[in-house]
Amino acid sequence: MRRELRDGHGRVMRDLRVSITDRCNFRCVYCLPETEEAANFYRTRFDAVRNPNPASTVPLDYAWKPRHELLQYEEIERFVRVAVDLGIEKVRLTGGEPLLRRDVPRLVRALSAIPGIKDLALTTNGFLFGAQAAALREAGLHRVSISLDSLVRDRFRLLTGRDGLHETLSAIDVAQTLGFQPVKVNAVIIGGLNDHEIESLAQFARDRGLVMRFIEFMPLDSKRAWQRDLVVSGRTILERLADRFDLVPIEASSNPSETARRWRFADGPGEIGIIAPVTQPFCGHCNRLRLTADGQVRTCLFSLVEHDIRPLVRGDGSDAALADRLIGIVRGKESGHRIGQPDFVQPQRTMSCIGG
């Protein structure tokens, strides 16, 4: 009987997110809001009573992991191969910004050669994608997701800390030209900042035949400035889109762990997805496992515990020992996150370190 990564709640892991670097060339307000613009947003959005630790009081620096602590490509390949032997079918490379790592096509080529991987994808902010896209495609990358939180240059810069709208839009064009299918575009919606662009982002997807994913704002920012009333709920997003567009629900796939509820445009190409982990958690069907760039396994995006497997993949540990360790880790996977509960504690590390 084949061994598998089954947790104590009966869920079987099929999806692996692999962060290959914690470094990022953006400073997004929902992750690493370490720019004056982001500080000003939080400072003006909340008064001292509601936000006793405003962003402006936090030093605008960040200690990246030393490079020698990051897993080497051969170590990542080995971990993925063992995980696939235990039933993992989908692998997504994340960061930080993964394309800041050198020679990512080499890693993609190695992973694409592992029998059993049905889907190999990459999440990127797109800034460096254009120069590497063809090599990534040739190496075996199946899909790409590109972050786009605003279509307005100044607001894009406020949200990301980078004047990079042109590069991101160009990355989307390149991805479609090279035949990546589907091309997904992710937008984190934050009340009072970019929520008024919901309809225009959907129209952008409709015009270009993209899969547009709207994501609720989650408490994973380095400033600990997240506030529940900044969250624009998935229901609100859907209501606004339904007022503007003729949307047809897409039946749920055979995979109940799919994170997005999906709709297509009735009058043309393109698709809308809504990911609502705050207001409509999908923990009951979660089949994800995460590997951080420095070799920590996380069983939930909001885990407060990490499991260090770097000694096993870097040392003399056998593949069998690594497999046993993974099986044991997954067995203790949380039933779900605690966002919105009185006892919720935000993870110590941000999305950039955990992997998107």
Is-contact 55 42, C-beta < 8 A?
yes
Range of the domain at 41: 15-354
Identify whether 259 is part of a domain.
yes
Per-residue model confidence (pLDDT) at position 351? 61
Beta-carbon contacts of 214 under 8 Å, excluding residues fewer than 6 positions away, are 187, 189, 198, 201, 234, 237, 272, 273, 274, 275
Identify whether 343 is part of a domain.
yes
Identify whether 8 is part of a domain.
no
Could you give the number of structural domains in the chain? 1
Between CA 338 and CA 351 the distance in angstroms is 17
Identify whether 3 is part of a domain.
no
Q: Mean pLDDT in each 10-residue stretch from start to end of the chain (356 residues)?
A: 88 95 88 57 47 40 76 97 98 95 98 97 97 98 97 94 96 97 94 95 97 86 65 94 95 65 92 86 77 92 86 91 96 73 61 66
pLDDT per position as a tens digit, 60-113: 445 677 888 899 999 999 999 999 999 999 999 999 899 999 999 999 999 999
Give me Rg for the CA atoms of the chain. 20
CATH classification of the domain holding 50 = 3.20.20.70
User: What is the DSSP pairing of strand 15-19 with strand 90-94?
Assistant: parallel
Identify whether 1 is part of a domain.
no
Per-residue model confidence (pLDDT) at position 208? 96
pLDDT per position as a tens digit, 311-335: 999 987 899 999 999 999 999 988 6
Identify whether 4 is part of a domain.
no
Identify whether 10 is part of a domain.
no
Identify whether 83 is part of a domain.
yes
pTM: 0.88
